[in-house]
Amino acid sequence: MDKSSKLINKSLSLNEFNFGAFSSSPNWIGFFERKSKFSINLIDQSLDIFENFFNGKNEEIIIITALSFDDKREKNNEIINKYNATYEKLKESGVLLPMTPCYESYLYGDIPLPASALNFYFDKNTFIELSKVMMCHSGIIGDICFYINKDMNIAVYPHEDVGFGCMSLNGDRTAGIQFLNTCSKNNNFRVVFDK
């Protein structure tokens, strides 16, 4: 049985994901973010934390996204020079989609997230590339990008303050707490837990 069939056979409910405010989701655990001003080095450090924690634990993952783009939004030449090739690759592969009226209505809060806006992937590298550009490139529109590891009961998402947030899939917060505790060992990041 291939990887996609295994994942389809294990149910995954998105009902408890609040796509309008992740931290309002019932199983939200917390996040980590940079303590100081933005730097590309901090993006690399946050991705290293993610990869080191999940290394060897990526057998059955799913990546869920709903993202669009606007090429005119990014003005920083350093970001363009460093990440534009990745940004363009994500556009060409269909990971970043052109803006649609339906998705724009969602962004303005007029309608809930339409199911047609969701994309599913099974490749951790797609998540890593998206995380890099989402943390710095203003051309990305939206913030729905989840790495879901059902075996660990965790969903992780990147954010623009250079870091990741996480929530559990069913109320068991163990993996999310372990992940954020690992993040707290790096003095360049601040960890916030749900109260």
Q: pLDDT digit of tens for each residue in the chain (195 aa)? A: 444 444 444 567 787 887 878 887 889 999 999 999 988 999 999 999 999 999 887 668 999 999 999 999 999 999 999 999 999 999 999 999 999 999 999 999 899 988 889 999 998 899 999 999 999 999 999 999 999 999 899 999 999 889 999 999 988 899 999 999 999 999 999 999 987
Residue 32 lies in a domain: yes
- Retrieve residue 124's tokens: 């951790």
According to the model, what pLDDT value does residue 188 have? 94
Residue 160 lies in a domain: yes
- Retrieve residue 43's tokens: 């993006």
How many Cα atoms are found within 13 Å in the side-chain-facing hemisphere of 60? 16
Provide the number of structural domains found in the chain.
1
pTM: 0.88
Residue 65 lies in a domain: yes
Residue 60 lies in a domain: yes
Residue 20 lies in a domain: no
Residue 46 lies in a domain: yes
Range of the domain at 43: 26-193
Residue 2 lies in a domain: no
Say how many C-beta atoms besides its own lie within 10 A of residue 141's C-beta.
Answer: 17
Instruction: Give which of 146, 115, 119, 149 is closest to 10, Cα–Cα.
Output: 149
The dihedrals phi and psi of 73, each to the nearest 5 degrees, come to: -80, -30
According to the model, what pLDDT value does residue 4 have? 46
According to the model, what pLDDT value does residue 162 have? 92
Instruction: Give which of 14, 25, 104, 32 is closest to 68, Cα–Cα.
Output: 104
According to the model, what pLDDT value does residue 5 have? 43
Residue 17 lies in a domain: no
> What residue type is assigned to position 112 of the chain?
P
